[in-house]
Structure 1
Amino acid sequence: MDLGLSGKTAIVCASSHGLGRACATALADAGCAIVLNGRHTDALEEAAAALRDRGAAVTGVVTGDVADDGVQRALIDAAGRAPDILINNNAGPPLRDFRQLDADALHAGLDANMVTPIRLVQKVIDGMIERRFGRILCITSGSVKSPAAGLDLSSGARVGLTGFLAGVARQAAHANVTINFLLPGLFATRRLEGVHAFAAKAQGVDVAEAERRARARVPAARFGDPAEFGDACAFLCSAQAGFITGQSLLIDGGAYPGLL
């Protein structure tokens, strides 16, 4: 399927590894020029080289914390104009018992996973509305629908982001600008390694047993492949997805047992 994205420009935050990189790869394969972002120059340059080897156009490689206003401006400048696509992505706070979260930790988690994505949307959405095309996708977490111990701060911040931008989505829909949310379950990324380590300690088992128990809870009997997450991202950014907005798509292999 031609997704109608040839010639579009996409900013993909936190895209040197994991799900962000998978989204950047899928969008590049669909014809987008990509602006990459991450905290480590070596990893970013490797990701950029891999995309260029696939024939992709990488128009910017911006190192730094996306919460920094200067980094946000550099991302937009690298796009050459307000981007056609924004993939909001940021690492979640470390897994921690909620009793251990002091005020600084609470504010840091909210800033990274709620305030920062909102600020980026504020910077790009008017240009999208003016051009009558825009796709904003926020990578949140399956814990938005199914809270998990240790992820309380991550879940809370991302629920707040979802509620805030769900209203914004309705304000921009008239201009063919959509805002949606991808909720990953257990995907084979570096983040999952931390989840297993936290669970192992909490359950009094080794990491291998914690991983086995986690896999057993997934009806698909496996962890997700980041590439399939990237493909879902690319579709929600496509021309064909213009009637989908304000929605949260859970991709978890059937682990969440609810209907809604």
Structure 2
Amino acid sequence: MDLGISGRTAVVCASSQGLGRACAWELAKAGCRVVVNGRDAAALEETAAAIRAGTGAEVIAVAGDIGTAAGQQALIGAVSQVDILVNNNGGPPFRDFREVDRAAMEAGVAANMLTPIELVKLVIDGMISRRFGRIVNITSASVKMPLAGLDLSSGARAGLTGFLAGVARSVAHANVTINFLLPGAFDTRRLRSSVETAATRTGASVEAIRGEREQAIPAKRFGDPAEFGAACAFLCSAHAGYVTGQSLLIDGGAFPGVM
């Protein structure tokens, strides 16, 4: 399927690995010029080189902390215009809410709510003037199904969703869409690290912990990051102009609800 975005320029935050990388890869396959981002310059360049080799796309690597004004300006300023923005950032670590002090709360809200909003502000007027823009925010399944221990992540990402919900409606007339992707359990390095930590803590094998978690998902497996990237690419496509302000849950059926 031709997504109709060949020649567009996409900026994908936190894309040196995991779901961000998968989104960058799929957008590159669709013909976009892609700006990838991460803090580890060496890992980021490896990702950029792999995407270039695998897709033939132009890939620009911008290493830096997007939580800073300088990092944001370097990322957005790497290209003359941004047609597609994929907001992504790591979440706060798993911990009991009693252990989350004010500094941790401020850092979590800054990373998972304020920074994405600041990036949207930097690109949205240009999108409106060109009558095309696609913004996808990677949040979490915990926005819809909060999990104890991820309270800060759930709260900050839910705040981002609420803040941008009204913005999405205000720019829809200009063919600018803002949507949210809510990932469940995907087979990423972060998930594998979590499984290994649980195995160490409980004394069970990594295989046993992984199998137990997979069996709890109706699909009986973890998600493939490529599946997530494909969903992101569709929301960024020319065919998704009538989809805005929506939260798409991708979790293999783990959320036990109707909507």
TM over 0.5: yes
**Structure 1 unaligned blocks of 5 or more:** none
1:133 partnered with 2:104: no
Distance 1:79 1:205 in 2: 49
Relative distance call for 1:112 and 1:125 in structure 2 (3 A) is: same
Report deviation, 1:194: 4.0
Please name the residue that 2:149 is paired with.
150
Relative distance call for 1:25 and 1:163 in structure 2 (3 A) is: same
1:80-95 correspondence runs (5 A)? 80-81=80-81, 83-95=82-94
Corresponding residue to 1:206 among 204, 207, 213: 204
Report deviation, 1:207: 5.6
Please name the residue that 2:167 is paired with.
168
Partner-residue secondary structure (3-state), 1:253: coil
1:115 partnered with 2:99: no
Distance 1:62 1:49 in 2: 13
Distance 1:100 1:254 in 2: 31
1:13-52 correspondence runs (5 A)? 13-52=13-52
Relative distance call for 1:149 and 1:205 in structure 2 (3 A) is: farther
Partner-residue secondary structure (3-state), 2:192: helix
Please name the residue that 1:68 is paired with.
68
Please name the residue that 2:12 is paired with.
12
Relative distance call for 1:195 and 1:151 in structure 2 (3 A) is: farther
Query: Aligned partner of 1:214: which letter?
Result: R
Partner deviation per Cα, 1:4-24 (whole Å, 9 max, x = no partner): 101100000000000000000
Task: Assess if the C-alpha contact under 8 Å between 1:10 and 1:85 holds in 2.
Answer: yes
Task: Assess if the C-alpha contact under 8 Å between 1:13 and 1:20 holds in 2.
Answer: yes
Report deviation, 1:211: 2.2
Report deviation, 1:222: 0.5
Distance 1:206 1:67 in 2: 38
Distance 2:205 2:110 in 1: 31
Relative distance call for 1:201 and 1:152 in structure 2 (3 A) is: farther
Relative distance call for 1:220 and 1:191 in structure 2 (3 A) is: same
Please name the residue that 1:178 is paired with.
177
TM-score normalised by structure 1 residue count: 0.95
- Compare 173-182 and 63-72 and name the one that shifted more: 63-72
Report deviation, 1:206: 2.7
CA RMSD of aligned residues (A): 1.4
Partner-residue secondary structure (3-state), 1:35: strand
Distance 2:156 2:203 in 1: 30
Distance 1:62 1:116 in 2: 16
Distance 1:66 1:190 in 2: 21
Please name the residue that 2:215 is paired with.
216
Relative distance call for 1:207 and 1:185 in structure 2 (3 A) is: farther
Query: Aligned partner of 1:55: which letter?
Result: G
Task: Assess if the C-alpha contact under 8 Å between 1:95 and 1:198 holds in 2.
Answer: no
Report deviation, 1:75: 1.1
Task: Assess if the C-alpha contact under 8 Å between 1:10 and 1:79 holds in 2.
Answer: no
Please name the residue that 1:227 is paired with.
226
Distance 1:212 1:199 in 2: 12
Relative distance call for 1:161 and 1:196 in structure 2 (3 A) is: same
Task: Assess if the C-alpha contact under 8 Å between 1:11 and 1:79 holds in 2.
Answer: no
Aligned length: 257
Report deviation, 1:201: 7.5
TM-score normalised by structure 2 residue count: 0.96
Task: Assess if the C-alpha contact under 8 Å between 1:67 and 1:112 holds in 2.
Answer: yes
Report deviation, 1:198: 6.0
- Compare 204-213 and 228-237 and name the one that shifted more: 204-213
Query: Aligned partner of 2:23: which letter?
Result: C
Identical-residue share of aligned pairs (%): 65
